[in-house]
Chain A
Amino acid sequence: MTRLVYFAWVRERIGKGEEEIDLPSSVVTVADLLNHLKTLGEEYQAALQYPEVIRVALDMEHVEHDEPISGAREIGIFPPMTGG
C-alpha cells in the first residue's frame, strides 16, 4: 500500500486529503501514477486534468514527473506552491 496525500485544490477536487492505495505494477514513474489516478474517477480527472502543473513529492522531497516512485512510502500531490 502507498499513502497518497493531497493539498489545496488537488485535495478539494479529489474530495479527500489522503488515502492508501494499491498501485498496479505498471505504475513505474510519477507520470504513470498521475495517469493511473485519472482512471479512478471524475474527481481525479478534474484534479489532474493538466498534469504539467501538478507537483509531486516522494517522501517529502520534490521530484520531476519522470522519477521512478519505487519504494516511496508517502507521495504528496499538489498544485504549484504559493506561500511566503
Chain B
Amino acid sequence: MTITPTIRVQREGFDLQAEVDLLSKGKPGVGAVVTFSGLCRDDGGMLAALELEHYPGMAEAEMTRIGALAIARFGLLGLTAIHRYGKIAVGENIVLVIAAAPHRQAAFDGANFVMDFLKTAAPFWKKEHGKDGAAGDWVAAKDADDAARDKWK
C-alpha cells in the first residue's frame, strides 16, 4: 500500500493530539510516533508576533514532495505536516510534523528530515513584528539550516 503524506497549509491553529490520533488510527503496525511543533518565540523579549507569507500551491507541493521522500527513505507508516500562515503571536504554533513508524529511530529521523528540508525548500517567509507594534525586518535565512539539510546527503 502506498502511503501518502497528509499536508496542510492553513491560517488557523491545529490540535496536536487530534492530528496524532488521526495519523495512527487504523494502523496497528505503528509502534512509534514522533511529533515536532515549532512555535513563535519572543527572541529575548523583542518580538510580539511573526507574519508568515507563503507561495500558495508551491508550499503544498514542496511539503508533499519532502513528505514522500521521508516516507520512502525511512519506511514511515504515516506522515503529517501542517504549516500555518498569517500573523502568529508569541507562544502560538507555526508548524507541526508527525512521523509514525514501527520503531522509534525511523520516526525520529523522519520528523527530523522533514523539518530540515521544510526549512530550506518550502516557500515560506517570516517577518518580525516587534513589541512596539512596528513591522520589522524579514527573518534572514541561516547557514546552519543549510548545513542541517546537507547532513542527509
Q: Which residue of A lies closest to B123 (CB)?
A: A81
Contact status of A8 and B127, CB under 8 A, knowing A57-B55, A79-B138, A81-B141: yes
- Beta-carbon contact of A8 and B125 below 8 Å: yes
CA A80 to CA B139, docked complex, whole Å: 10
Contact B123 A83 (CB under 8 A): yes
Residues of A in contact, count (CB < 8 Å): 16
Say whether A81 contacts B58, CB under 8 Å.
no
Query: Could you tell me the distance in whole angstroms from the C-beta of B32 to the nearest C-beta in chain A?
Result: 22
Q: Is B94 in the interface zone, CB < 8 Å from A?
A: yes
A81 touches B138 (CB 8 A): no
Q: How far is the CB of A68 from chain B (nearest CB, A)?
A: 20
Confirm or deny: B121 has a beta carbon within 8 angstroms of a beta carbon on chain A: yes
Interchain residue pairs with CB less than 8 A apart (11): A8-B127, A8-B138, A60-B55, A61-B61, A81-B123, A81-B141, A82-B141, A83-B83, A83-B123, A83-B125, A83-B126
Chain A positions near chain B (C-beta within 8 angstroms): 5, 7-9, 57, 60-62, 76, 78-84
9 A-B pairs with the lowest CB-CB distances in the bound complex, closest first? A83-B124, A80-B141, A8-B125, A84-B119, A60-B58, A82-B139, A82-B126, A9-B138, A84-B118
